């Protein structure tokens, strides 16, 4: 029998405030560990990917953001969730912090979200290390000079930033 993962398309908001990245804590069943990543989730039938990124940030963290659609970086990867495998396409967006939702109740957020916090960048990248595609997309959004106009990584910019 051939293994065929389910298809999933997601959107993710990458938001910095005071040099700290907005992150959520989830439980990864495959790694059997609590893990941190930027807020994001599935795109509903009646919304665009950028709308989904804004909605997910608010639902998961209580933070209202405005995503910049022109900054989209898309990554494809496979992951396991609740015993099912998914082939996933995630659209990552640079998001501008607007405000905290005064009506947000953390007790009402999705059960899979255990916490959210603003995380210093060095710790944020360390926490994302199990998910190279996510870590790479976040890095490219925060440090856009590492990409050329086509979206490909700019090796010269990488080398000049190293030393």
Looking at domain 6-101+109-162, what is its CATH homologous superfamily? Answer: Nucleoside Triphosphate Pyrophosphohydrolase (3.90.79.10)
CB atoms within 10 A of CB 158: 12
Q: Where are the domains of the chain?
A: 6-101+109-162
Average pLDDT value for the chain: 86
- pLDDT value of residue 158: 43
| Alpha carbon distance 83, 1 (integer Å) | 17
- pLDDT value of residue 161: 43
- pLDDT value of residue 147: 52
Q: Place 109 in a pLDDT band, splitting at 50, 70 and 90.
A: confident
| Alpha carbon distance 72, 92 (integer Å) | 5
**Residues sharing a CB contact under 8 Å with residue 110, sequence separation 6 or more, in sequence order:** 59, 60
């Amino acid at each position: 029998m051939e293994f065929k993962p389910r298809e999933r398309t997601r959107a993710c908001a990458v938001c910095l405030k005071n040099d700290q990245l907005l992150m959520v804590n989830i439980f990864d069943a495959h790694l059997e560990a609590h893990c941190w990543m930027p807020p994001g989730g599935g795109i509903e039938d009646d919304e665009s990917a950028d709308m989904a990124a804004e909605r997910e940030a608010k639902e998961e963290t209580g933070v209202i953001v405005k995503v910049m659609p022109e900054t989209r970086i898309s990554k494809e990867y496979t992951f396991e969730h609740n015993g099912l495998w998914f082939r996933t396409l995630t659209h990552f967006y640079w998001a501008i912090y607007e405000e905290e939702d005064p009506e947000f109740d953390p007790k009402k957020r999705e059960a899979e979200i255990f916490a959210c916090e603003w995380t210093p960048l060095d710790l944020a990248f360390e926490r994302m290390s199990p998910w190279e595609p996510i870590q790479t997309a976040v890095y490219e959004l925060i440090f856009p000079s590492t990409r050329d106009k086509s979206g490909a990584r700019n090796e010269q910019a990488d080398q000049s930033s190293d030393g």
